[in-house]
Structure 1
Amino acid sequence: MSRSRVSPGVAYLTRGLLSVIFPTASSVIIVGRLACLQGFPVSPWLLSVVVLGAAPLGLATYIFVDVISQRRKATRLDARLVPRIQGRWPGNLDKLVNTIQRFKVEYLGQPVLDEMKELGPTLNYRCLWEDYIVTTEPQHVKTILATDFHNYVKGAKFREAADSVLGTGVFNSDGETWKFHRTMTRPFFSHDRISHFEIFDRHANRAIALAKDRSRMDMAIDFQDLISRFTLDSASEFLFGHCTDSLSVELPFPDNTLESTNTKGRGDTAAAFADAVSQAEHAISRRVIIGAVWPMTEIFADSTAQHMKVVDEFLDPILEAALTRHSTAAKLDANEITEDQTFLDHLIKLTSDFKVIKDETLNILLAGRDTTASTLTSAIYLLAMHPEILSRLREEIISKVGLTRMPTYGDIKEMKYIQAVLNETMRLFPALPFDVREAVHDTTWTSPEPGKKPLFVPGGVVVIYSVFLMHRRTDLWGPDALEFDPDRWLDERLQKYLTNPFIFLPFNAGPRICLGKKFAYNQMSFMLIRLLQNFSAIALSPEPAMCPPAWWAEKDGRQAIERFKPRFHVMLYAEASLSLTYFAVI
């Protein structure tokens, strides 16, 4: 399917031109009219001043009026403005540049955390005269996701930033469109569907065989790459009935000392697809961070265009073949889900609109691949950092399942420690560390500081909430909040601290709660069981590219002890991948 060739920058300038032309033309007309009435000629000098000054003056007037308007609205609601960051340059441009630069080298979320130490858990990251309210306050997150759900939408700003990648899929839509996608998707993620483990087992065995081959070579393995291939192959077969076979090619070597001799094939095409998706997700993240003026950074071309061309070339033939099959097949009840029916089959029964099918398929595929791959990568990293926890988890696996048998849904349900390990992993490293909404109407939030007025949230403002930072707050989780300790999910700390369920949100909450939550728990548990049935120990590679810079060790908290660099585009991932020196084969 062809995509628009007009760059976002050109479209943005075209729209913005009207905002320049209107005040300029109006000013010229007014000056000319006044001059005619007074009988004075209009000098070129005066006309130049009017033309050059109209737009800046209009912008300054807009900013002044907006500030006054917000204060008055807040006063009417007996509220106060959200504390704002204070930079030295106009529009807090220095803060914006500094934040973008620090995100590249600092620990994940550190620039925001530093501002919150001064301003509190809810602040206004106002840059280029545009408000971005950022919060890690559970009560505010609860308001956004549940109690005032309809007042917080994905919104036009995020939708524009993500449209070239996510289209109108469930993660980039609101209102009736969102309900339509949600209704289409929900029936497929039933208990009967998510507890079928044959697909997981087939691809887990292939991934483990590759890991064993690398271990026998006494070479490091890029685990993030391996697990991403596993989740891509599993998700594609589960959703499409069409495996991408990304595990069929030789794995890359983390240190690049050896090169693959495999000929290019379907697995390489899948790897190119996965890389293209990752690059497109990076573009979405960059656009959201820059804000409303992001199209100005893409004047000459859409930064996602080339990547989405690769995605289209991969997905389109799969979807077209499925549509062709269904055009000649007998129609079934759209509400009936048969045993061998895939997610794609289910969608095609409900609509023949190619774009709707494609957008929703890609949205669910990314969710099924990225979230699970992110969490499993973080889990293996933490287990390698804590061999005593790995040993204890293996003991539970061996006692419940043994060393060879495929785990069942019932096995996983009974295994308390593996769930504690996964919960603790998702607490420290949630797959979706930051998420975005847009307020529809003016409203207020309760103050995080007792005795102070509520906080005013203007309609149209972008709201960002970070479960990554919220999950690490010591006032919410206790003084050991930065430590990896699965026992906090099994001992008295669970009742002491987790009294508010909105302090732990790896799968979101409210009407937009992740439909694939149980699917993800099952897949992650299954893969961890299979890995630890085959390997008794895991060690991190000292590969310099993976390790954080030495100066991180001088900082506070987890930054001082981390042995990889957590980053995010839409999802959390390990920069320069996650290399393991060995899996000790049993």
Structure 2
Amino acid sequence: MSRSRVSPGVAYLTRGLLSVIFPTASSVIIIGRLACLQNFPVSPWLLSAMVWGAMPLGFAAYIFVDEILQRRKATRLGARLVPRIQGRWPGNLDKLVNVILTLEVEYLGQPVLDEMKELGPTLNYRCLWEDYIVTTEPQHVQTILVTDFHNYVKGAKFREAADSILGTGVFNSDGETWKLHRTMTRPFFTHDRISHFEIFDRHANRAIALAKDRFRMDMAIDFQDLISRFTLDSASEFLFGHCIDSLSVELPFPDNTLQSTHTKPGPGDNAAAFTNAFSQAQHAISRRVIIGAAWPMIEILADSTARHMKVVDKFIDPILEAALARHSTAAKLEANETVEDQTFLDHLIKLTSDFKVIKDETLNILLAGRDTTASTLTSAIYLLAMHPEILSRLREEIISKVGPTRMPTYGDIKEMKYLQAVLNETMRLFPAVPFNVREAVHDTTLTSPEPEKKPLFVPGGAVVVYSVFLMHRRTDLWGPDALEFDPDRWLDERMQKYQLANPFIFVPFNAGPRICLGQNFAYNQMSFMLIRLLQNFSAIALSPEPAMCPPAWWTEKDGRQAIERFKPRNHLTLYAQGGMWVKMEAVDDVEVIQ
């Protein structure tokens, strides 16, 4: 399906020029006509210069009036403005430039955290005179996701930034369109479907075999790459009934080996290209959101997602077209095909034949089914490698409940409390979606972090970002050991003291009407893979490649930044820049822990 050839920058510039040229030209014509009627000896060129020269003053007046109106609206609601970052350049342009330039070298979220140390847990970047409110307050998260849900939407700004990738899918829509996609998707994620583990087992065994082959060569693997392939193949078979087969491509070699430049091609090369292109497209969304409404000016020559989405389209379109063709020839499900036999794609095609609707929803769910799970499992392996005592304890639970070789069942996973604690603690420190975006529809308020002060005013149209990544690490919410990886906090008195007392301090899957439909699917898949991994491997050690290692100056900082041994980054989801290179120690298949 063809995509628009007009770059976002051209469209944005056209709108901007029209909004400037028409009023200006009209003013020149009107003043010129008046001058002629009154025999006023003023040159048209002088009139033009006067009008164009007035534009900066007019813009300054607009900013001034907008400031006054905001303060009046806030006063009317008994509120105050959100504390604003004060940059040295107009429109806090220096702050925006600094954020963009430091994305590749700073610890994830650190620039925001530094500002919050001065201004508190809720602040306004106010970049280029647009309100860009960032919060880590659990009561604000509750308001945004639940109590005032209808006033906090994805909004036109995010929708425009993500449209070329996510279209009108469930993660990029509001109102009736969102309800339609949600209604179409929800019935597929039933208990019976998400507890069928045969697909997981087949791809887990294949991934583990690839890892063992590499370890026999005494070489490390990029676990992030391996687990992304596992989740992609599992998700594609679960959703499409068509395995993308990314595990058929040879794993990358460490950079310091001769083989690193001689990776053999395989039948899954197209899948690898799709994966890389989809990831790069998500980076583009992230850049657009950070830059704000002026992002099209950065893409004045071309849409930065276009070439990546061509690769995505080339890969995904034939799969969807084949499914539509099969359905159109059958007119309805075959008599011997039960509802349980349907794939997610079959389910969608039964509901609509609109190719764009099907494609948008498919890409949205594939993103959720692959990237978020892969992100959490990558973080889990990293943390287990950093904490071998926790790995040993988890492995003991796995062997005692499931044994050294048996495939786990849904019932096994439900009984494994320490496994769930490990996953929860992983998602607390490294949530798969570190930052999320909403847009306020109407003027409203958020409760003040300081009870003695007035509420915070949120103007209609403001972008509101809530960061669970930063919120999950707050010591005032989680205790003095909030930055430590300690699964026991989910099993001892700290659970009652912190999380149960304030449930919105932990929302890795969102909450309210937009809570993740695949939450249980993700828990099951992550649990299943960790069980299979620790049935096969007794120890994990980091084997950092240069591209994975943080800058040396991180060790001079405080908090987790000082101890981290990889570079957490995010586009729409969190990932490890440079990969997550590890070695694992395989166990005998018949080993039994006494």
- TM superposition score category, shorter chain reference: over 0.9
CA distance in 2, matches of 1:496, 1:294: 44
1:44-93 CA-to-partner distances (Å, cap 9, x unmatched) read: 55224224324323322221121111111111111101110001111111
Report if the CA contact (8 A) 1:211-1:583 is conserved.
no
The code of the aligned residue for 2:29 comes to: I
Please name the residue that 1:508 is paired with: 510
Please name the residue that 1:322 is paired with: 323
Report if the CA contact (8 A) 2:250-2:265 is conserved.
no
Q: Unpaired segments of 5 or more residues in structure 1? A: none
1:539 and 2:541 aligned: yes
Residue 108 of structure 1 deviates from its aligned partner by 0.2
Please name the residue that 1:445 is paired with: 446
Residue 453 of structure 1 deviates from its aligned partner by 0.6
1:237-284 CA-to-partner distances (Å, cap 9, x unmatched) read: 000000011001210113262147565343111111000000000000
CA distance in 1, matches of 2:345, 2:338: 11
1:107 and 2:125 aligned: no
1:139 and 2:139 aligned: yes
CA distance in 2, matches of 1:133, 1:402: 50
CA distance in 1, matches of 2:37, 2:134: 52
Structure 1's 358 and 256: CA in aligned 2 closer, same or farther, altered over 3 A?
farther
Please name the residue that 2:592 is paired with: none
Please name the residue that 2:403 is paired with: 402
The code of the aligned residue for 2:512 comes to: G
CA distance in 2, matches of 1:583, 1:122: 45
The 5 A counterparts of 1:403-552 are: 403-498=404-499, 499-552=501-554
1:190 and 2:190 aligned: yes
Report if the CA contact (8 A) 1:337-1:346 is conserved.
no
Report if the CA contact (8 A) 2:87-2:95 is conserved.
yes
1:8-65 CA-to-partner distances (Å, cap 9, x unmatched) read: 0011011111221133124313432443354222225522422432432332222112
The code of the aligned residue for 2:225 comes to: D
Report if the CA contact (8 A) 2:32-2:44 is conserved.
no
Q: Which moved more, 1:84-93 or 1:259-268?
A: 259-268
Please name the residue that 1:566 is paired with: 568
Query: Aligned to 1:438, what secondary structure does the other structure show?
Result: strand
Q: Which moved more, 1:10-19 or 1:155-164?
A: 10-19
CA distance in 2, matches of 1:214, 1:492: 43
Query: Aligned to 1:266, what secondary structure does the other structure show?
Result: coil
The code of the aligned residue for 1:386 comes to: H
Q: Which moved more, 1:199-208 or 1:257-266?
A: 257-266
Report if the CA contact (8 A) 1:221-1:582 is conserved.
no
Please name the residue that 1:50 is paired with: 50
The 5 A counterparts of 1:115-130 are: 115-130=115-130
The code of the aligned residue for 2:28 comes to: V
Query: Aligned to 1:87, what secondary structure does the other structure show?
Result: coil
Query: Aligned to 2:92, what secondary structure does the other structure show?
Result: helix
The code of the aligned residue for 2:105 comes to: V
CA distance in 1, matches of 2:348, 2:58: 49
CA distance in 2, matches of 1:291, 1:23: 25
Report if the CA contact (8 A) 2:537-2:584 is conserved.
no
The code of the aligned residue for 1:374 comes to: S
Structure 1's 228 and 583: CA in aligned 2 closer, same or farther, altered over 3 A?
farther
Please name the residue that 1:388 is paired with: 389
The 5 A counterparts of 1:6-405 are: 6-43=6-43, 46-255=46-255, 257=257, 258-259=259-260, 264-331=265-332, 338-405=339-406
CA distance in 1, matches of 2:28, 2:587: 80
The code of the aligned residue for 2:535 comes to: Q
CA distance in 2, matches of 1:578, 1:254: 11
Report if the CA contact (8 A) 1:283-1:303 is conserved.
yes
Residue 382 of structure 1 deviates from its aligned partner by 0.2
Name the % identity: 87
Runs of 4 or more above 4 Å deviation:
260-263
Report if the CA contact (8 A) 1:219-1:582 is conserved.
no
Report if the CA contact (8 A) 2:566-2:576 is conserved.
yes
Residue 100 of structure 1 deviates from its aligned partner by 1.3
Query: Aligned to 1:19, what secondary structure does the other structure show?
Result: helix
Please name the residue that 1:580 is paired with: 582
CA distance in 1, matches of 2:404, 2:41: 95
Q: Which moved more, 1:274-283 or 1:574-583?
A: 574-583
CA distance in 1, matches of 2:124, 2:421: 35
Residue 394 of structure 1 deviates from its aligned partner by 0.2
The code of the aligned residue for 2:139 comes to: Q
Q: Which moved more, 1:35-44 or 1:574-583?
A: 35-44
Q: How many residue pairs end up in the alignment?
A: 584
CA distance in 2, matches of 1:380, 1:218: 19
Report if the CA contact (8 A) 1:24-1:50 is conserved.
no
CA distance in 2, matches of 1:524, 1:542: 23
Query: Aligned to 1:105, what secondary structure does the other structure show?
Result: coil
TM-score, normalisation: structure 1: 0.98
Query: Aligned to 2:340, what secondary structure does the other structure show?
Result: coil
The code of the aligned residue for 2:332 comes to: K
CA distance in 2, matches of 1:503, 1:355: 37
CA distance in 2, matches of 1:261, 1:483: 40
CA distance in 2, matches of 1:219, 1:265: 21
Structure 1's 583 and 159: CA in aligned 2 closer, same or farther, altered over 3 A?
farther
The code of the aligned residue for 2:553 comes to: W
Query: Aligned to 2:19, what secondary structure does the other structure show?
Result: helix
1:153-202 CA-to-partner distances (Å, cap 9, x unmatched) read: 10000000000000010000000000000000000000000000000000
CA distance in 1, matches of 2:576, 2:351: 38
CA distance in 2, matches of 1:332, 1:66: 58
1:402-441 CA-to-partner distances (Å, cap 9, x unmatched) read: 1100000000000000000000000000000000000000
Residue 442 of structure 1 deviates from its aligned partner by 0.5
Structure 1's 176 and 256: CA in aligned 2 closer, same or farther, altered over 3 A?
farther
The code of the aligned residue for 2:467 comes to: S
Report if the CA contact (8 A) 1:427-1:472 is conserved.
yes
Please name the residue that 2:591 is paired with: none
CA distance in 1, matches of 2:261, 2:332: 46
The Cα RMSD (Å) is 1.4
Residue 567 of structure 1 deviates from its aligned partner by 0.2
CA distance in 2, matches of 1:567, 1:210: 26
Report if the CA contact (8 A) 1:546-1:578 is conserved.
yes
CA distance in 2, matches of 1:323, 1:267: 23
Residue 332 of structure 1 deviates from its aligned partner by 5.2
